[in-house]
Amino acid sequence: MADDDSRTADGRRRWRQWREQDARAALAEHAKSGQSLSRFARERGVSLRRLMYWRKRLGESGTPGFVAVAIPAPLALPTLASHIEIAVEGVVVRVREDLDAERLARIAIALARARC
């Protein structure tokens, strides 16, 4: 990401164009960090807009990321149970009202990671 030896005479960081592998490495590091994208960018001295651009660019051209969710047999059958619908930024998740809270939390975490 930021190279210490790529600075101007007055100490400012010199702009350096990223290659795809640079972007993939930075985004992989961000995914492992658990930080928000803006905090990650600020701490690493990387432009937030650059990270957002590459995340969008690689997300559109890469393979879609799916999260496997195990559904026990009793829940796979249609029932008359009430449902809860959660909609955030165009993603809609509908779950049974009696779904285990821990399972719902894992689904929410997986969706949040996929959106980053």
Summarised one tens digit per residue, pLDDT across range 29-65 is 988 888 888 999 999 888 899 999 988 888 744 455 6
Q: Is the pLDDT of residue 4 over 80?
A: no
Considering only CA atoms, give the Rg of the chain.
Answer: 20
Summarised one tens digit per residue, pLDDT across range 91-112 is 778 888 888 888 888 887 787 7
pTM to 2 decimal places: 0.41
Where exactly are the structural domains of the chain?
Answer: 1-64, 73-115
Closest alpha carbon to 37 in 22, 56, 21? 56
Q: Residue 14's CB: how many other CB atoms inside 10 A?
A: 10
